[in-house]
Chain A
Amino acid sequence: MNKKVIVSFFIGYSLLFAGSIYKYEQKLLHPVAEDAGRLLPIAVKSIKQAEGEKQLQDIVRRANKTGDKLSIAGMQHSQGGHTYYPNGTVIDMKKYKKVLRFDPQQRTITVQSGATWDDIQQYINPYGLAVKVMQSQNIFTIGGSLSVNVHGRDIRYGSLIDTVESFRLLTADGHIINVSREENEQLFSLVIGGYGLFGIILDVTLTLAKDELYEKNTRMIDYKEYTSYFKEVANNPEVKMHLARISVAPDTYLKEMYVTDWTLAADQSGLAAHSPLKEDRIVAAPKMLLGLSRYSDWGKNKFWELQRVYMERGNGELETRNNVMRSETAFMEYENGSRTEVLQEYFVPVNEFMDYIDDLRTVLEKEEGFNLLNITIRYVEKDEQAVLSYAKEDMFAFVLLINQGRSSQEIDQTERVIRKMVDVTLDHKGSYYLPYYAYPSMEQLHTAYPRSQEFFRMKRKYDPAERFINLFYEEYGK
């Protein structure tokens, strides 16, 4: 090889090397934030890991000087950009997860807000205690769960807000304050269900329940029987948790239902034997069938039938409260470059159920391209403590899993169908859940949440500089 070639290679290589490093640094300087919905990737200024109270205070105070915008993130399973903002700083709370205090006698626990339900379950299970209200899955952080005011399978302990004794909040001016029903009580009902707009929740004190042994039973019913069935369930104090599914398979579309109840087991002596916490495992058959149901009607029918076999096999099974509250998630994970799976959740008064389903079916039967994969139904008790409360009466909550493309055309297509569904929901005196992609219109938001304007006004009262901001606020709050 002659010298000229070698020398020119080295010159070229050095230039490329320097150029590549420069570009790479640029890329590191502007990380892209994205949530579980994967429809809104956006370049942010930086992502900072929460380390301690002082550090968080410094971040807020420095931002007040520099004018930086702050967003707060946990597991980022909200899907409408609630955890980031263009060119803002994302504060990632996941590592801020210590258990600060635990009192088994009083049944209370104080945890830093980045702790997940799983962290709490691992900690309290040996003491025979359990969480009162949480989502069906345990992967979420406490701070995030409070901010979106979650609900779950439990039908006896009211709503999440009922189980919160107090929390500490790092406000927009950099102060740390106690918030409870007695202290700074206005913020109590704003921050819970506040989507991270009022400050950083530092730590939370929750009340706990006794761990118990439940017997699980599932059966199939027609949707017309469901309201009366549920009323029986609600009147039977032995039933502690409840979950239903309604078919999205073409053969039984929005007609057949599987209803599952967890009833206090007559014999509690087996509690200790059942108390070890189960771990998430991948169940190959449901994963494959869910995969098939993404692509075909045949798959949807088979998936629905298989769920029946799977559930009937589980009838009479004993499970502890803690284990009921750590349901499998791995089989639902979905990885695809051009498509994604989004959630919607609608709340409809218990008595409206049957008419609502009929109207929903009429709308959806016309939407052939709309790929609806699953609907689960839970119960939420009337609770208007949170300013952004969705439970204006005793409601059924419908969680819809939708498979959709990520192109702007496909987003528009989904928006059109979702707005129709929201209209049907609102016609039945219902509301919808806010942690998802901003498909619903501003008008729909105001109808579903009559206090939404008050909410955003209060946001600006407590945080006049709009230090804490996210895409949800950008879309609906400004």
Chain B
Amino acid sequence: MNFRRFILSQSLIMMAGSMIFPFYVLLLRNVGESYTQFGWAYGLFALTSAVAYPVIGKSADQLGDQLLLVIYTWGMAVILLFFPLVTEVWQVYVLQIFMGLLGALQKNTEKTSLARHVRKERAGQQIGAYHTWTSVGAAIAIILTGYIVDFLTIGTIFYLASFIYVMSGIILLKKPEQAASQ
């Protein structure tokens, strides 16, 4: 049950991430309008992640995966509220730095959670199941977004994704009680 909740919340994260990704690229392109700036936006993301990993790694052991994942989901939920408002390239850079931080948080914690949840002898099967469900989430999101984008503005997609991130956080928070009842 515990692991299921983790998978569910991660699937939601993948859904939300896949929903916004194509529009996120469009947004970067509209605001930046040069491939150099495009490169910088992604470069900043990767650089911030690189700097953040060592710190995040340590704090995952001290604070626990659950808290970090909740910080990630709600952090993303907040960040996404700013995206529809972006008009200048410096704003994209700032957002990319935050996204880099949060992205590192997610990647690292996803793996530490998996490492703590799975049993060594069944690791292959369990991680396989994890990827199956998160990919299903992503696929559903991408296909659905293709349909709804005709009816909604790009801004709405970001708001919807933000909301999904909040939901994902709530699911994670319920985890300890579930675990206790097991």
Contacts and interface: CB of A to CB of B under 8 A. Distances in A.
B159 interface: yes
Interface stretch (B73-81, B119-127, B132-140): B73-81
Given A1-B70, A13-B78, A16-B81, A24 B32 contact: no
Given A1-B67, A337-B89, A21 B34 contact: no
B77 A13 contact: yes
Contact of A13 (B74, B87, B155): B74
Interface in B132-173: 153, 155, 159, 162, 166, 173
A28 interface: yes
B95 to A, nearest CB: 13
A17 B173 CA distance: 21
A19 B34 CA distance: 30
Contact of A20 (B82, B89, B166): B82
A9 interface: yes
Contacts of B32: 337
A336 interface: yes
B70 A24 contact: no
Given A16-B81, A21-B159, A335-B35, 19 more contacts: A1-B173, A9-B74, A13-B74, A13-B166, A16-B78, A17-B159, A20-B84, A20-B85, A21-B155, A23-B85, A24-B85, A27-B87, A28-B153, A335-B33, A335-B34, A336-B33, A336-B34, A337-B33, A337-B89
B37 interface: yes
Contacts of A13: 74, 77-78, 166
Contacts of B155: 21, 24, 28
Interface string B51-67: 00000000000000001
What is the predominant secondary structure among interface residues of chain A facing chain B? helix
A6 interface: yes
29 contacts: A1-B67, A1-B70, A9-B74, A13-B74, A13-B77, A13-B78, A13-B166, A16-B78, A16-B81, A17-B81, A17-B159, A19-B81, A20-B81, A20-B84, A20-B85, A20-B159, A21-B159, A23-B85, A24-B84, A24-B85, A24-B155, A27-B84, A27-B87, A335-B35, A336-B33, A336-B34, A336-B36, A337-B32, A337-B33
A6 B173 CA distance: 10
Contacts of A337: 32-34, 37, 89
A1 B81 CA distance: 23
A330 to B, nearest CB: 15
A17 B159 CA distance: 8
A24 B166 CA distance: 20
Candidate in B36, B81, B162 with the most chain A CB atoms within 10 angstroms? B81
Nearest to B172: A1
B102 to A, nearest CB: 15
A390 B85 CA distance: 44
A336 B32 CA distance: 8
Contacts of A16: 78, 81
Contacts of B36: 336
Given A1-B67, A9-B74, A13-B77, A27 B85 contact: yes
A16 B77 CA distance: 10
Interface in A290-329: none
Nearest to A32: B87
Interface in A6-52: 6, 9, 13, 16-17, 19-21, 23-24, 27-28
Contacts of B159: 17, 20-21
| Nearest 3 Cβ contacts at the A-B interface | A20-B81, A24-B84, A336-B34
A10 to B, nearest CB: 8
A13 B37 CA distance: 30
